[in-house]
Amino acid sequence: MTTVQPGIVTPVGSATPATRVLLAGSVISAPLFAVVSLAQAFTREGFDLMRHPLSMLSTGDLGWLQMANFLVSGALTVAGAIGLRRVMRGTPGGTWAPRLILVSGVAMAAAAVFVMDPGDGFPVGTPLGQPTAMSWHGLMHMVAGSIGFTALIVACFILGRHFSRTGRAGFAVASRLSGLVFALGDGWAMSGGYAGSLTLCVGAITAMVWVAVVAADKRAALR
């Protein structure tokens, strides 16, 4: 059953303590990932965000920090996706947006297991330029990243439809802009454009933070 208010469909029984905890996962995951990643990006010797993707922080002696960051943030994203599925059930986009966010969380956790190859001078001592060969785990990292990025971009656009259909134009625009920023940042990085690692970082964090905002909004709406 559902209770219906103008423009909003709220599943009965969704406002459980467990649902609040699950949604808190998404609220926490984006700022956690951003703070831990950027703190390392600006402090680890040899790392240049203009040339090195955040995934490369998983390499070197302190690589375990970023690996743990991927794993914990991914798990929190998965928890948040389950919470979003509970509170969005029966609404436009209420099936696929949470599913795709869950996929992005699983992909993030996979990035902790399949570590990116060192390259272009990082960690310190690594030859400049891109590696001439890719390891199997580096390839799997790229696959996981591609799946996770695509899922999160599409989820943002589906959230845009969700908010349009529920009468929240501002949230609808913000959702679509977040997806667009991520899509453009990723596309520029994949094309080999200047500072592509930076545009990818900005796009990914923008989309993640927006999902955190959505989760916080849904959590606050629970009665």
Gap between the Cα atoms of 222 and 117, Å rounded: 44
Q: What is the pLDDT along the chain (223 residues), one digit of tens a residue?
A: 344 444 444 444 456 899 999 999 999 999 999 999 999 999 999 999 999 999 999 999 999 999 999 999 999 999 999 999 999 999 999 999 999 999 999 999 999 999 999 999 999 999 998 888 899 999 999 999 999 999 999 999 999 999 999 999 999 999 999 999 999 999 999 999 999 999 999 999 999 999 999 999 999 999 7
**Per-residue pLDDT tens over the stretch 133-163:** 899 999 999 999 999 999 999 999 999 999 9
Gap between the Cα atoms of 62 and 73, Å rounded: 18
Gap between the Cα atoms of 42 and 56, Å rounded: 13
128: number of Cβ within 10 Å: 9
Closest to 152 (Cα-Cα) out of 193, 196, 212, 194: 212
Q: Which H/E stretch holds residue 43? A: none
**Burial annotation 22-46 (CB, 10 A radius, 16+ → b, else e):** bbbbbbbbbebbbebbeebbeebee
The pLDDT assigned to 14 comes to: 59
Answer yes or no: are the C-beta atoms of 149 and 186 closer than 8 Å. Answer: yes
